[in-house]
């Protein structure tokens, strides 16, 4: 019987594991893929938007002069797991959580069942990528995350989405002389906030500047006020807002970078309540769900950035240690 089972080894799950070790909890961290698989899926060489101190798990581990890259962050996380001898099993997906008298039975895809007094679910917020929901959408034509531009060199690529990920994908594609077209639903890069009348910075300045240059040089085409309405074998049809016009864009592949929702299936297997926004109901201080002993942390909550995850998660572990350690709760 473990004191704590942590599910997911992203920044939040790793922060939880370090705190659990400091608290003297007997814990196991289960990861379905490799350590920090979400960060691993960032485009190769990507520099993070966050500064080092916002994503590092040990002060001073990452460069102070520049923002860290995907590779630096991954190397830091792996080195820390090794140095701290974190009790982790990778390639072990958790399929179901079953509340029982003593805590939880944790069932994995490998056929193992573990027992734990408390469970922390830190499976991130990208479990269910949003779909375009149009005719012709299939896995061969559409990808929902962007990792590398090289395979698309020289091809016509349609990028769909209004955020930094979409803007950066278009830039990476332009660098390898692909021919990216960016379909943007809104009419401008920085729309006006109706409440304040001020422009909303949807695209970070250091992304926007090279983007505008690439557009001016004809390396990226932006089609504003557009929505994909149909995908054909070698093209996509875009409806233009405010007109009856349909624009057919030649494309060999499509990147739909339109966001994602968390996968709450695991929480549901334990009977936890999910709110109308698709995220779990949890206590604002302890992050305990509606199932006693079942906690959430990181991107599956409403704390969307690593900085928040790293600040909040140790507090959650303190709450778990205080409530569920063997000395306070010999058995349930």
By the criterion CB under 6 A, which residues form the site for ligand FAD?
7-13, 30-33, 36-39, 42, 48-50, 93-94, 122-124, 126, 165, 266, 298-299, 304-307, 309
Q: Let me know if 209 is exposed, middle or buried by CB neighbors in 10 A (0-12, 13-18, 19+).
A: exposed
Instruction: Give the C-alpha separation, 166 to 43, whole Å.
Output: 12
Q: Interior CA angle at 260 toward 254 and 263, to 5°?
A: 130
Q: Quote the least distance from Cβ 138 to ligand FAD, whole Å.
A: 22
Q: Which of residues 203 and 249 has its CB atom nearest to ligand FAD in the complex?
A: 203
Instruction: Give the C-alpha separation, 320 to 119, whole Å.
Output: 9
- Three-state DSSP class for residue 109: coil
With contact defined as beta carbons under 8 Å apart, do 40 and 142 qualify?
no
Q: Quote the least distance from Cβ 45 to ligand FAD, whole Å.
A: 12
Q: Quote the least distance from Cβ 327 to ligand FAD, whole Å.
A: 28
Q: Which of residues 128 and 232 has its CB atom nearest to ligand FAD in the complex?
A: 128
With contact defined as beta carbons under 8 Å apart, do 73 and 55 qualify?
yes
Q: Which of residues 95 and 185 has its CB atom nearest to ligand FAD in the complex?
A: 95
Q: Which of residues 235 and 308 has its CB atom nearest to ligand FAD in the complex?
A: 308
Q: Which of residues 56 and 237 has its CB atom nearest to ligand FAD in the complex?
A: 56
Q: Quote the least distance from Cβ 35 to ligand FAD, whole Å.
A: 7
Instruction: Give the C-alpha separation, 48 to 272, whole Å.
Output: 33
Q: Quote the least distance from Cβ 228 to ligand FAD, whole Å.
A: 20
Q: Let me know if 95 is exposed, middle or buried by CB neighbors in 10 A (0-12, 13-18, 19+).
A: middle
């Amino acid at each position: 019987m473990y004191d704590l089972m942590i599910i997911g080894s992203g920044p939040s799950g790793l922060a939880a594991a370090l705190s659990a070790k400091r608290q003297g909890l007997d814990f196991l961290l289960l990861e379905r893929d490799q350590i920090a698989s979400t960060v691993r899926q960032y485009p190769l060489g990507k520099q993070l938007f966050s500064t080092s101190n916002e994503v590092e798990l040990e002060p001073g581990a990452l460069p102070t002069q520049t923002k860290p890259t995907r590779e630096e962050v991954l190397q830091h996380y792996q080195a820390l797991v090794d140095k701290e001898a974190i009790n982790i099993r990778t390639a072990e997906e958790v399929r179901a959580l079953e509340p029982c008298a003593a805590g939880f039975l944790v069932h994995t895809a490998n056929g193992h069942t573990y027992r734990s007094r408390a469970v922390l679910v830190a499976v991130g917020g990208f479990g269910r990528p949003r779909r375009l929901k149009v005719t012709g959408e299939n896995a061969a034509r559409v990808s929902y995350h962007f990792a590398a531009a090289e395979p698309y060199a020289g091809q016509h690529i349609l990028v769909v989405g209004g955020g930094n990920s979409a803007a950066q994908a278009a830039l990476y594609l332009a660098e390898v002389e692909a021919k990216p077209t960016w379909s943007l639903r809104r009419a401008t890069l920085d729309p006006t906030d109706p409440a304040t009348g001020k422009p909303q910075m949807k695209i970070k300045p250091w992304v926007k500047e090279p983007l505008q240059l690439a557009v001016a040089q004809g390396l990226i085409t932006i089609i504003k006020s557009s929505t994909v309405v149909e995908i054909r074998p070698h093209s996509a049809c875009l409806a233009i807002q405010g007109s009856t016009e349909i624009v057919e864009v030649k494309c060999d592949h499509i990147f739909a970078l339109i966001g994602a929702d968390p996968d709450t299936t695991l929480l549901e297997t334990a009977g936890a309540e999910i709110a109308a926004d698709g995220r779990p109901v949890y206590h604002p201080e302890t992050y305990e769900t509606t199932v006693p002993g079942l906690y959430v942390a990181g991107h599956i909550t409403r704390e969307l950035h690593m900085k928040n995850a790293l600040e909040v998660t140790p507090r959650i572990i303190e709450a778990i240690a205080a409530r569920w350690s063997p000395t306070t709760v010999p058995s349930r």
